[in-house]
């Protein structure tokens, strides 16, 4: 029987960082990577059988609002492999921009701890079978990539029941998110110009490109590191090109250029 295991209620911390090379989503979406990390514990191994990671979006409290993040490799993870600043990517997904409210792990039955060369099964109190909620209070920005860490405290999560050799799993998990990129948005008109858009960093280095939506002229250049860019908006056929300079991109935000009229 799979168990829905989540930590007690916490507030999601948004911290700016550019330490990882993340994927990023298409227009209207954000990209999220989920990493597993750990605090040290007094064991040789703490093996957790992770079968799924699910996220709850929006304000709807129904079960149907949970979405699987498609675990990269289901199975056992030794938490002690990921302490002292180490982590591992366990899930990755594009999500609609907007509110993220909760996240949870779905664990299988192969959870165990190794102590003094002996492997002990980890049992879970029946009170936890219905799930302990980990509340996330965050609004994802379209075109921005995010990293979410699940810091699973192995030392505090394992409780030995007397001297009987019975070990109980009571998950203590801290979650924190770091925004990893920014975006540039705008509208290129008329739509018959079929504009191409280029984000150009100092030194004339084209970092990213996209094309305007053929029905609305809207565009979004995603996954940009923080910095100052020139944005070239090039029309097709007889339409002129234009370049907007000194466009500042910040991590976790979208720089809106408004409407750009090509002639």
How much is the pLDDT for 102? 83
How much is the pLDDT for 127? 45
pLDDT score of 131 more than 50 = no
Give 112-118's long-range contacts (Cβ < 8 A, gap of 24+): 112/45, 112/47, 113/43, 113/45, 113/46, 113/47, 113/158, 113/167, 114/43, 114/44, 114/45, 114/46, 114/47, 115/43, 115/44, 116/44, 117/44
pLDDT tens by residue, 197-219: 999 999 888 998 888 999 999 99
Helix (H, G, I), strand (E, B) or coil at 70: coil
The domains found in the chain, sorted by start residue, are 3-179 (2.60.40), 182-261 (2.60.40.10)
pLDDT score of 5 more than 70 = no
231-247 average pLDDT score: 96
pLDDT tens by residue, 169-190: 888 888 777 888 899 999 999 9
């Amino acid at each position: 029987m799979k168990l829905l295991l989540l930590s007690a209620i916490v507030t999601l911390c948004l911290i700016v960082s550019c330490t990882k090379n993340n994927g990023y989503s298409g227009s209207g979406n954000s990209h999220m990577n989920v990493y597993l990390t750990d605090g040290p514990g007094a064991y040789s191994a703490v093996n957790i059988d992770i079968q799924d990671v699910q996220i709850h979006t929006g304000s709807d409290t129904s079960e149907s609002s949970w979405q699987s993040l498609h675990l990269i490799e289901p199975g056992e993870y030794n938490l002690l492999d990921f302490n002292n600043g180490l982590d591992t990517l366990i899930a990755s997904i594009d999500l609609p921009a907007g509110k993220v409210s909760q996240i949870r792990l779905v664990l299988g039955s192969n959870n165990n701890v190794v102590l003094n060369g002996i492997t002990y099964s980890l049992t879970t109190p029946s009170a936890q079978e219905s799930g302990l909620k980990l509340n996330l209070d965050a609004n994802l920005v379209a075109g921005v990539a995010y990293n979410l860490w699940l810091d699973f405290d192995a030392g505090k999560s394992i409780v030995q029941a007397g001297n009987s050799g019975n070990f109980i799993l009571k998950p203590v998990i801290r979650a924190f998110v770091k925004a990893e990129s920014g975006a540039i948005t705008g509208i290129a008109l008329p739509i018959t110009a079929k504009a191409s858009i280029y984000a150009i960093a100092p030194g004339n280095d084209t970092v990213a490109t996209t094309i305007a939506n053929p029905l609305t002229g809207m565009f979004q250049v995603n996954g940009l590191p923080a910095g100052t860019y020139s944005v070239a908006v090039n029309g097709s056929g007889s339409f002129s090109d234009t370049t907007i300079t000194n466009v500042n991109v910040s991590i976790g935000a979208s720089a809106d250029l408004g409407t750009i009229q090509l002639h």
